[in-house]
Chains A and B, each alone.
Chain A
Amino acid sequence: MNCEAIKRLKPQSVGDWVKNNTNILLMLLLIVVGALTTENFFSAGNLFNVLRQVTINGMLAVACTMTLLVNGFDLSIGHTMALGAVLCIGFEKSTGSGVIGILVALGAGLLMGLLNGFLMKITRGGSGEGFMITLATGMMAQALAKWYCDGSEIIRMQIPENQDWLRFLGQGSALGGFPVCAIIWIVIMVILQIVIKKTIFGRQMLLSGANKKSAFLAGIDVGKVKLISYAVAGTCCGIAAVIYSARFNSASDGAGVGGDFNGAVCSIIGGNALYGGHGGMVQVFIGSVTFGLITNILQLMGVTSAVQYIVQGAVLLLAINLDRLKKR
């Protein structure tokens, strides 16, 4: 606390400010690039479109951040989303009720999160263990999704458009054209931001992420904090799954391929620390919008998806280098 106060008293040079706010600068730069290359960039329609596009990755980034904050890592988020999406559509089809579909998807996400969290707890794992464990659980989730949908795409049942409220969640707009899925995403981020910054549990999360030994000595049940964070992350994947199935009306076991990477990129280029301890949902928002703009600009420039892989990889490498620079 003292140290924090001293830091605040020290006059901040321009260089320091730039170093600490590379995420905002990168976003502003991309907005300028977008404005220069695209016509009508600042029209409401285009901005809402970008928001709609980033929602699913953004939701996965929320999940990834919850695990990053406690010095964990989650590679299973993409495949958990795929599992949730096929279950959501499948159960809606078999029971005829969208509510049951949503509950099953959220439940599947929660279970996956609890499994990851429990394994992290018994292995006393950090981000390395989290990486390996969730690599395996993600593979299992994808296999289950493939088994459930029999390796082919599973399509939602036909409902008259005016009664289809699930579709409205993914494709509709409210409050003057604002995409509904983006509203859900932002509300969840606001809630989690308050939890992280203003509650005792949030402080316990940050402390056990920054230094688990001192957190343990301060009387925090680090394993439990990890378990809860992973469970929240899994539930966020469930929400992402609901939005996915509502937006695309279909899902397959391949839905989550690359989702883990996208979530991690959004979270890290936003400025969340790789090894826990500081960060939050503001960074997730900045990172997701930045990533969405990069993808959007690349698509407008007509770059093939293979080259997009290379660019995205380069961006992530740059982001982790910046993260390291900040720590020094």
Chain B
Amino acid sequence: MKVLKKAVTDYRIPLLAVVLFLIMALLKSNFASAYNVYSIADSAAGYGIAAIGFTFILLVGQLDISFGSVIALTACVLMMMLKAGMSFALALAAALVLGCVCGAITGFFVAKFRLSPFIVTMTMQLVYKGVALTITNSTPVAMQHPVLKAIYNVKLLNMIPLTFLFFIALAVLMEFVLRRTQYGRNLYLVGGNINAADNLGIKSGLYIWSAYAIQGLFAAIAGVAMMTRQFSASGNLALQGPMNVIPMVIVGGTSMAGGKGGVIKTVWGVLLMNIVFNAMTMFSIPAPLQPFVKGLILLIVIVSDKYMEHRHEKV
């Protein structure tokens, strides 16, 4: 009984993901087919990697909706450099550094000027999108680069793509950073109580800044991961990124108030939400209504999270 209770309270989301998967597999015979598992894992990898970075942002109690545009910008730069005939390693390095710089610029305004993260990231989202559209001349950049194709062709057991394995590996690595290093512990402290962190002599501004830089880096990795399956980038890539990623992270159990959560939790949130999205397609919910369901999930997640946080306050 005790074990059951612990399982329900601590492992709610993993249980829900597994149960939902089993139910769907019973209802639709082709849900558990190798091809469908592959497509779930494949779609989970791109936004999942971005979700790892977003977990860091939420852990320090901030918010970022500009990473969708960072994904677009870095993917555009990667594809343009590949198209210009540069080596893959150079283009990859440029994309990752650019992502990190974009995140650092956003973080600079938030951490150093202490401006509202909502307005800053909303603005930077527009700016990065503008830069991406300007450098690509508002046309998609497509290229079937051999290295990207090689990554695309690797499939474990014919159903797990390489990018998904990479996503899991990154998640484990970042969970280790959060749990076992001083940096990670301080990150939790800054998010949990910024005044206490300041009083303890932790440079909280620097931690917030670093979280934005990490988010930018992971957005760039996500951009590269997306390129390994669609081989084409444009300024409007990942326009709905924040709307897809934010519910994944919060459903996983990372609190919007900061200081609570973890990357492994995010992984389960990513899996659960991707199973839900896949199920929506399986049950042929009309395409225009799918964003409605996504928005509804986002709304329920936010309102319940905030309600639980503030329910004892009078106003």
Binding site for B on A (CB under 8 A): 73, 75, 119, 122-125, 127-129, 131-133, 135-140, 142-144, 146-147, 150-151, 208, 212-213, 215-216, 222-223, 253, 261, 264, 268, 274-275, 304-310, 312-314, 316-317, 320-321, 324
Q: Which chain B positions have C-beta within 8 A of A147?
A: 286, 288-289, 292
- Asked if A135 contacts B126 (CB within 8 A), the reply is no
Q: Given A139-B298, A140-B295, does the pair A123, B307 have CB atoms closer than 8 Å?
A: yes
Q: Given the interface contacts A139-B291, A306-B235, does A124 sit within 8 Å of B119 by beta carbon?
A: no
Contact among A131, A208, A307 for B134, CB-based, below 8 A: A307
| Contact between A261 and B126, CB atoms less than 8 A apart | yes
Residues from 119 to 144 in B contacting A, C-beta threshold 8 Å:
119-120, 122-124, 126-127, 129-131, 133-134, 138
B306 proximity list for chain A (CB < 8 A): 123-125, 129, 132-133
Q: Are B315 and A127 in contact (CB under 8 A)?
A: no
Residue of A129, A275, A314 near B127 (CB, 8 A) is A314
Beyond the given A139-B295, A309-B126, A320-B116, could you list 12 further A-B residue pairs with CB under 8 A, ordered by the A residue number? Answer: A73-B118, A124-B315, A139-B243, A139-B298, A140-B299, A144-B292, A146-B288, A253-B288, A261-B122, A310-B131, A316-B123, A317-B109
Q: List 23 A-B contacts (CB under 8 A).
A: A75-B122, A123-B306, A124-B306, A127-B118, A135-B242, A136-B298, A137-B295, A137-B299, A139-B292, A140-B292, A147-B289, A212-B315, A216-B314, A264-B122, A268-B119, A274-B116, A306-B133, A306-B235, A309-B129, A310-B126, A310-B127, A317-B109, A321-B115
Chain A residues lying within 8 Å of B130, measured Cβ to Cβ, are: 306-310, 313
Interface string of B290-315 (1 = CB under 8 A from A): 11101110110011001100100111
Q: Is the CB of A222 within 8 A of B315?
A: yes
Chain A neighbourhood of B289, CB < 8 A: 143, 147
Taking beta carbons and an 8 Å cutoff, which residues of B are in contact with A?
A: 63, 65, 109, 113-116, 118-120, 122-124, 126-127, 129-131, 133-134, 138, 235, 242-243, 246, 256, 286-292, 294-296, 298-299, 302-303, 306-307, 310, 313-315
Question: Given A128, A136, A223, A314, which contacts B295 in the complex, CB threshold below 8 Å?
Answer: A136
Tell me the nearest residue of chain B to A317, going by C-beta: B123
Closest CB in chain A relative to B299 CB, distance in Å? 4
Determine how close the nearest CB of chain B comes to the CB of A165; give it in whole angstroms. 32
Contacts of A124 in B (CB 8 A): 306, 310, 313, 315
